[in-house]
Structure 1
Amino acid sequence: MAGRLVIIGAGQGAFALAAKLRALKDDRPITIIGSEEVLPYQRPPLSKKYLMGEMSFDRLEFRSSQWFLDNNVEIRLSTWVEEIDRKAKTVRMQDGSVLAYDKLALATGAAPRLLPAGVGGDLDGVLTVRDKRDADRLREEMQPGRRLLVIGGGYIGLEAAAVARQLGLDVTLIEMADRILQRVASAETAAIMRDLHVSKGVSVRENTGLVRLEGEGGRVKKAELSDGSSLDVDFVIAGIGVTPNDRLARESGLAVGNGVIVDEFTRTSDFDIHAMGDCAVLPMNGAAVRLESVQNAVDQAEAAALVLSGEERPYLPKPWFWSDQYDVKLQIAGFNAGYDETVLRPGQRAGSHSIWYFKQGRFVAVDAINDAKAYVTGKKTLDTDFPLNRAILEDPAADLKSLLT
């Protein structure tokens, strides 16, 4: 039996790694260390069905405590690692206790960027969306008729705005760039999603930043914006991105760069330490990339499990993402970084669209908006490297299935 595997972090990647090792009949001792007080759980429904009261928390847990007992997976909750000693192969906990490892896995995820205290980010009622504690605080705040300011027009901000409107709140969303989804999607996708939110009653203000938040009795009450206007607000959600939790890696001397740098076998610069999920920077198409998605956390963790079990198989990411907003499902296959051309294609149903991304003539990604056929076709094309026929794609009357024949 191999020596102990210690997994730092108790999210999607951590659980996937432990579960895959057990599925592979790997019986080494495993210890998972998590700072939250609850067992590992699904995060995407937190900001949607859980926040809206449509799903109880116990339905989000991957497994009950009995699964961890039955599978010899020790899980330490409400605790965290202060230091990694790579020479001694130990981790020191915040209470001073020390745990030895044979192999170590970093599944530490990422943390939301916070508004600076200098602009009022330390006021009560200024919130982020990341974990159960965040969602529980938001559930208390999201009462019909209250006034919410969402800062940031990325997927987190848009999803929060959608839930708030569905719950009957008055919502204003501001974005510093000249359009929402500037960093992650095409202008066509952004325009469709913007129109959706405006049609639902969200006030979307682009080219508009936050100057400062003002409070009363320590509680946020007003927002001063860069367009010279001010808003009365009851609470604020900051959806301004995340930063990888790479402090432990950096302080222990591992190679880092906007995250923990890993090779195609999920190994860090230390052969006995792996990293996965939102904290990891991996090689992809000749570039160093950090993929912020549940799918990547699971796939990379399962790839790490194969390597740990003795199978030297490289991880070749096939990214896909999704975002649910109101009754619209946005499904994304591929990775559109560096795209230089797009093709907008209407779907067969009213309100359905797909946006196909190309880089130097090569198909790299698709955004499918209420268009499952486009998503499946695009994903299969990417997964198989099947050459894409542009003439068929650009003909609205052509059947997308013919792209795969």
Structure 2
Amino acid sequence: MGDYGQRDEVSQIAGNPVIIIGSGCTGLAIAHGLKKAGIPVVVFEKNAAVFSHGERDWNMGLHWGVPILKSLIPDEAVAKLQSVEVDPNVPAKPIDTLVFLNGRTGEVMTAPDIPNFHRLRRSKLRALLAKDLDIRWNKRLKKVVFEHDGKTVTAIFEDGQHISGRTIIGADGTRSTVRKILLGPEFASSIRLPYSATFVQSKFTREQALFFRSFHPLYIAAPHPDDYFAFFGLQDAPEIDKPEGWTFFFYISWNSSLEQQDEERKKFGNKERLAQVKEKSVGYCEPWKSAFEWVSEDQPAWYFDLTVWDPSLPDHQWDTRNGRVTLAGDAAHPMTYQRGQGLNHSITDAGKLVDAITKETSLAAAIEKYEAEMKERAGEEVRLSVLNTTMLHDWAKVMESPVFKAGLQKNK
């Protein structure tokens, strides 16, 4: 092994560990599964803590992926999953419904059943999964070196520290550094889509909060004849009897060319973003009309353009170097969110990867088996997510969209 610079406790880890880059839900689930199987594992995270001050928080739907997550994490964590629900006071229903309204009239268009649906706070889930793992903070990956022995890989960080192990798993999100190292910036870059969205999180008065929650305890969605799409849901309800302390999470998304996105990015700040989405909300039914009307003019707003990356495309294939590197979760397949499948596929990655590593006779065979299944499954879902987003923003096609026809069911 060459001289990689500063040597300290980072390179002094017992055994030949699996190295995970990224402490998101995917990386942490993989780490627990490997640890449970007796495989040494260490997680490296570029941020200083599991959730930094000012970091954006959101909620995620987990349904057909729930059994996989429970199989990976410790029993103590399984017992505490209820505590990371957006409403920890009310257990998830065996069967729930996702109601879609006509965004103009408020009439119910469809309400597909969703078995075993859990709405989880991202920050709380990560905090729960981070317990009892070896996580090294403030470690930003700079370089990956594949050693000449054909069995070892070394991760080098920006502070000069390094670690060698049996494989590196890039679980570092949609802008994955590992993906860029493997494929270069051109082929690793996510594909931008001609849609934009602005999100708001806000608390309201007691009466307003009760009004909003009367539509559905957790979430509701609505395409609009003007080719918009909107979501409204609960973000946090720490105390069941204090509605004024509840936080709601809502957005509107719309068609927006890449040129328009670039132009607005130069000109728009928070004030302009909020004014833009407020204007779109005027023609919406409740609860969006009042939610956007009642937030103050200086309310923080998050703007997102939509991007994807399909791991099954010919230009997106990487060399695992004898099983010494792979990708998982959003690092492998960022997808649009209107069908609520991202976390389910990411947790499935974790389960499939842990299963392959623990059962296959060689690491190379394990990674090959995992990637073959992951690329086909998740690649199809990425393409389906684009189709779904396109149709939800086209009123003439919305009833034929995948989420209208199949709800949140796992893609067969």
Specify the TM-score bucket, using the shorter chain as the normaliser: 0.3 to 0.5
Higher relative strand content: 1
More helix by share: 2
Higher relative contact order (CA 8 A, sep 6+): 2
Give the alignment's TM-score, normalised by structure 2: 0.44
TM-score, normalised with respect to structure 1? 0.44
